[in-house]
Amino acid sequence: MTGLDRNSVRRTAVLAGAALIVGLLPLASAGTAAAADPDPVPVDRFEGEVPFASQPAEGLFTWGGDADDPPELTLAERSDAPEGAKVLAGDYDISGYGGFTHDYAADQPGHDWSAHKGIRFWWDGQDNGKKTAFEIKDGGANGEASELWTTSFTDDFSGWKQIEIPFGDFTYRTDYQPVGGIDQVLGLTQMWGYAVTLPVGAPGRFAMDDVELYGKADQSLRASVTTDAAVYPVKEGGTASVKVSVATTGSAPIDEPVTVAYESAGGTAESGKDYTPVKGEITFPAGTESGASRTVRVPTLRDRTGEAAETVPLKLTVTGAKAPAETPQVVIDAHGLPYLDAKLPVKKRVADLLSRMSLAEKAGQMTQAERGAIGAGGDIAAYDLGSLLSGGGSTPTPNTPAAWAKMIDGYQLRAQATRFQIPLIYGVDAVHGHNNLAGATVMPHNIGIGATRDPALAERTGAVTAAEVRATGVPWDFAPCLCVTRDERWGRSYESFGEDPALVESMETVVQGLQGDRSGRDLKDDDRVLATAKHFVGDGGTAYGSSTTGSYTVDQGVTKVSRQELEAVHLAPFQEAVDRGVGTVMPSYSSLDLGDGQGPVKMHARADMINGVLKDRMGFDGFVISDWNAIDQLPGDYAAHVRTSVNAGVDMMMVPYGYKEFSATLIDEAKAGRVTDRRIDDAVARILAQKFRLGLFEKPYADTSGASAIGSTAHRAVARQAAAESQVLLKNAGSVLPLKKSQKVYVAGSNADDIGNQTGGWTITWQGSSGNITPGTTIFQGMRKAGGDVTYSKDASASTAGYDVGVVVVGETPYAEGVGDVGNGNDLELTAADKAAVDTVCAAMKCAVLIVSGRPQLIGDRLGDVDALVASWLPGTEGDGVADVLYGRRAFTGQLPVTWPKSESQLPINVGDTSYDPQFPYGWGLTTLTNVPGGGTASLRALALVAAAAERAGAGTVARTAVTKARLLVQQKIGTAVTAASAKPFADADHLLLTGHYADAVAKLTQAYRAG
């Protein structure tokens, strides 16, 4: 699943398209201010008092979609300047988007504009008929963290004209994700400047002068009437209480009376039959304190018939203040209908509800929108939306468990205004813990979980993730990724458990951790979520250079395989997931080419695979959710995208910002007969069934009883164990590891003390980022907490004298999806700084090098200079777990989930390849256990007998122990002298172990021993 704002450059640079432009503003000439008006307050005179600068300093700066889009600005002397001697002038030629901003200094308080009516400026008209967007910044910590409020004007005049914009003309930017102080109310007391988005498509020039605040604020701009909710569900016969409040900017008392006339009118409920009509007036006298409220009560009436929900709008007419943005609605709950009976079987509840729904309501259930697209949420009921999601980094403000629950409960409340009150199903990409949530327990990425070879631990990590996700009101997780990574140049390779389908299948215990019992009976519990098997099918097999998405090289490319390889490698994990009862499946962006003459076909269009294999042959009875805007990659027009994907078997469409178009198009296609009623009913039935299983009809709102456990010591203990078991010891000459607490340790490297690098992509934001992005323990901090005598020098510039051993922690910085593809600005080499740190430390003392990365890094040219080498993968927030194995609190037991190559030219390289000559083979992993067996071939013969006997007897634990002993014995002999002759049988043995062929595994290890 792709994160939010793929092409964002910086927050204030995401400035807008035509869809946001709200129309032509009145253009007013400068007039004489009324006597009562305050003096204008200058914002920008362009005489040089505000420099060209950027945050944190105050200044003017430019931005754009690419290097050519930012305009060229100058403070130009003009004899015709409306004010002073200079104006701001510029040239532009914008293909994407571009403009400029005046931000106030981030280290100073925001400005108070609340005393004024609006903002105005002089514009040198070119009479080009083009619209220019003008935005102001409200709330948040600074100009880069604020809400954006937008409007526009049209350049249809020549020469200088003063543009006056009342603050009431600005509308809230719903497509922009601010980061602090967000209430979607233009408060005007904490303003951070303005921004101008220039026209696109043709070269142009502009000039601007004298930006200032003008006029006296009307009370209607400073005072507003609100209700405590937009929707008021009430059981039939109950009374709804609508709280009406008056509030002012700055919380000052109102200085003029505010009246609110109210009347119950319209809606689907019948006055006198379903409710008692109400009508009256509330007055808030002058001097009333901000926040004062009155309550209007709407009684409903009881009858004896079952019926759908009915609405009673409460019309509010406000004088003296701004009216609520929408009319509050009392909703008489649906009642007495079979689908509401929790005692009935799910199948009967689905059939009853489905039989009552209109085509539009069914289309809504098949539609998923991004939370950032729906504003206050009115469209949830207007379009009968079935689902919302948070893309990567799409979070409430503040990013806390309580804020998540409140946000999602607000959306669920909106769904109560629909006819059948079908609850939303809200989804997130919790791919290694609740990774969008600051303070959540962040697990190792899947590649590290695969390295643990511990299915029980994988299940526990899933259970912790589920508990933390559900406690914030989210019942659906877009995880796990069941891709089998076959080329580590792929930017998503760390989302895979490994390169061997048998390993991936063994780790699918995580599905039970997320969902509970295979039957789905646990889904209603407050610590379980619906899981998603992704990406169906073959996304881990895309060929290098086959992608056509932007600058990606591997991701979203073409998987060209035989049917036999497709079945054995890529489909097998999905059969396992279906057998485990996984609730949803997400198709891949990638294309599949089976060599059958069709060529590459996008997975979202492959009815043969989704309907034919997944649903019919495998027996999948959950629903299929598309990836983010994935249908847009299909051939043909939009109608073709919709009918092709739906007819292929996709049940719900993730159309983050295109939900209106999708819903309307699906309805049109159904009416035209190009999508059948049967197909739509099948899709909706599948979706409704999971909502019933999750218990959402009975408990649509967040159960936050488990919120106190988010990021708890108990949860972090699971992540700590996973981090420890994921560490793979590749080399340990002279038994450098484990370290002794008595040793003086020199720690260096870019990833030793960086929680962002340690957690990788999909952490807080889609791409992740370096730095202190979420609470946790870095590897260096873990070493210090373990009691070690440690000193840290990131670049190894501090003196290396007097230390017993060095630990250099190097590797990658975060990335996600195709952004991380090798060839897309990335390679598998350590950075120059990391190489220098390794060289400096390892030349001065015994050293251990830890590689924190989502995939193998090329280290062969330095392997001889390194005493110990550890593949640390992306261990998550619990650096204590890494310290546990470094200091011997736990033994190293991890094994390579992927083959470690000698060079990039070897890629792709995988277990089972005919030609196989890696740096370290698949399954490799030394141990610091003291009881590594000896005895050579005699011991191997004895272990072979034990494995064979245990295999015959079905004693899997005994057999696996025998194979593990044989593996450790072989590794002890081979050391770092891995050859092609020893690597291939060694890797094959680990695959045989995972598939239950224990005797054959020992035979392969014996072959490797002899070759070594």
Residues with a known catalytic role: 627, 817
Task: Tell me the Ramachandran region of residue 839: left when phi exceeds 0, alpha when psi lies from -120 to 50, beta otherwise.
Answer: alpha
Of the candidates 541, 533, 490, 489, the residue with the CA atom closest to the CA atom of residue 515: 533
What's the per-residue H, E or C state across 477-512? Answer: ECCCECCCCCCCCCCCHHHCCCCCHHHHHHCCHHHH
Q: Can you read off the two tokens belonging to residue 194?
A: 């303005």
For 232, phi and psi rounded to 5 degrees? Answer: -125, 85
- Asked if residue 542 lies in contact with residue 557, where contact means CB atoms within 8 angstroms, the answer is yes
Cα 949 from chain centroid (whole Å): 49
For 987, phi and psi rounded to 5 degrees? Answer: -65, -40
Strands 584-587 and 623-624: parallel
Beta bridge partners of 533: 585
- Asked if residue 587 lies in contact with residue 856, where contact means CB atoms within 8 angstroms, the answer is no
- Asked if residue 729 lies in contact with residue 894, where contact means CB atoms within 8 angstroms, the answer is yes
Beta bridge partners of 477: 428
Angle at 235 (CA atoms; ends 229, 236), nearest 5 degrees: 125
Sheet of 846-852, strands arranged across: 728-732, 868-873, 846-852, 805-811, 744-748, 789-793
User: What is the Cα–Cα distance from 831 to 819, expressed in whole angstroms?
Assistant: 18
Within 13 Å and on the Cβ side, how many CA atoms surround 998?
Answer: 25
Q: Is the peptide bond before 480 cis (omega within 30 degrees of 0)?
A: yes
Q: Can you read off the two tokens belonging to residue 540?
A: 């881990």
Of the candidates 922, 957, 826, the residue with the CA atom closest to the CA atom of residue 497: 922
User: What is the Cα–Cα distance from 886 to 906, expressed in whole angstroms?
Assistant: 31
Strands 59-64 and 98-103: antiparallel
Q: Can you read off the two tokens belonging to residue 307?
A: 């019926």
User: What is the Cα–Cα distance from 511 to 509, expressed in whole angstroms?
Assistant: 5
Report the sign of the C-alpha dihedral through residues 869, 874, 875, 879, in that order. Answer: positive
Report the sign of the C-alpha dihedral through residues 886, 891, 897, 902, in that order. Answer: positive
Q: Can you read off the two tokens belonging to residue 370?
A: 């991004």
User: What is the Cα–Cα distance from 354 to 241, expressed in whole angstroms?
Assistant: 32
User: What is the Cα–Cα distance from 438 to 774, expressed in whole angstroms?
Assistant: 5
Of the candidates 755, 747, 759, the residue with the CA atom closest to the CA atom of residue 854: 759
E strand or H helix at 153: strand 147-155
- According to DSSP, residue 40 is labeled P
- Asked if residue 749 lies in contact with residue 837, where contact means CB atoms within 8 angstroms, the answer is yes
**CB-CB neighbours of 105 under 10 Å:** 16
Distances (CA, A) of 912 to 486, 487, 747, 997: 11, 14, 38, 15
Q: Which long-range contacts (CB under 8 A, 24 or more apart) does 405-410 make?
A: 405/471, 405/472, 405/473, 405/702, 405/704, 405/707, 407/371, 407/473, 408/472, 408/473, 408/474, 408/702, 409/473, 409/701, 409/702, 410/377
Sheet of 310-319, strands arranged across: 231-234, 329-332, 310-319, 258-264, 279-284
